[in-house]
């Protein structure tokens, strides 16, 4: 089974690339979706987050207080890394289990959509990684269009790894600073050169 990792910084279009692959019939395990599950009411990561960050981090329904935690961690990279480590541990446990299940039924390809390609985790599961990058000015515009304030969007961009740092972790880089049609063409080219060559037809 071929495990393909898709990653990139916030606002780069990583999820759009994953959606293109999902629409072509590939199984996509989305780390962001799984992160929301493990931090939902009585989620697997809740108790540990409360132990580390205190009761203010948890709402009355035993779900993550996202507004409070966003204000805390996006001002301090050390705290962001601590929160990420807790959440990622539980997300990785699920991903590992699901990958092994798909391997047993001889699924040809699984896509991991991961925002932070950490070692001893996401990277180790992947046979190949595609990194989606984008000019910071375009990323900023996209995040503001999603409803973020300019200051919040800039803070999130600045606290993450740079495009170059992401690109260094991947096998192929997809620059998504242009149009959706240009992105589709770049993804199609990689599908033909990397997936079709491995007998993975989508």
Residue 154 and residue 49 in contact, taking contact as beta carbons nearer than 8 Å? no
**pTM, two decimal places:** 0.85
Q: Measuring CA to CA, which residue among 141, 134, 146, 151 is closest to residue 75?
A: 151
CA–CA separation, 117 and 126 (whole Å): 10
What is the pLDDT at residue 84? 87
In whole angstroms, how far apart are CA 136 and each of 1, 81, 111, 163? 35, 22, 26, 9
Strand pairing category for 128-133 and 172-175: parallel
Give the model's pLDDT for residue 75.
Answer: 82
**Using the 8-state DSSP alphabet, how is residue 108 labeled?**
S
Give average pLDDT by consecutive 10-residue segment, the chain, 202 residues: 94 94 96 93 95 96 95 88 90 91 96 75 86 94 93 88 89 95 97 94 84
Task: Give the architecture (CATH level 2) of 2-193.
Answer: 3-Layer(aba) Sandwich (3.40)
d(CA 72, CA 68): 6
Distance of CA 138 to the CA centre of its chain: 19
Q: Count how many Cα atoms sit within 13 Å of the Cα of residue 41 in the half-sphere of its side chain.
A: 2
Locate the domains of the chain by residue range: 2-193
């Amino acid at each position: 089974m071929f495990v393909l990792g898709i990653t990139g910084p916030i606002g780069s279009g990583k999820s759009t690339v994953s959606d293109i692959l999902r629409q072509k019939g590939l199984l996509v395990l989305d780390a962001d979706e799984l992160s929301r599950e493990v931090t939902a009411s009585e989620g697997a990561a809740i108790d540990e987050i409360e132990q580390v960050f205190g009761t203010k981090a948890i709402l009355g329904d035993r779900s993550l207080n996202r507004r409070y935690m966003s204000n805390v961690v996006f001002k301090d990279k050390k705290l962001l890394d601590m929160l990420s480590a807790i959440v990622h541990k539980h997300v990785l446990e699920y991903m590992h289990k699901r990958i092994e299940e798909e391997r047993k039924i001889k699924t040809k390809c699984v896509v991991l959509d991961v925002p932070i390609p950490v070692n001893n985790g996401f990277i180790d599961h992947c046979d190949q990684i595609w990194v989606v990058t984008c000019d910071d000015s375009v990323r900023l515009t996209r995040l503001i269009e999603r409803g973020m304030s300019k200051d919040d969007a800039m803070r999130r961009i600045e606290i993450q790894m740079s495009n170059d740092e992401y690109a260094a972790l991947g096998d192929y880089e997809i620059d998504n600073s242009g149009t959706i049609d240009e992105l589709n063409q770049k993804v199609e080219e990689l599908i033909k050169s990397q997936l079709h060559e491995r007998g993975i037809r989508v």
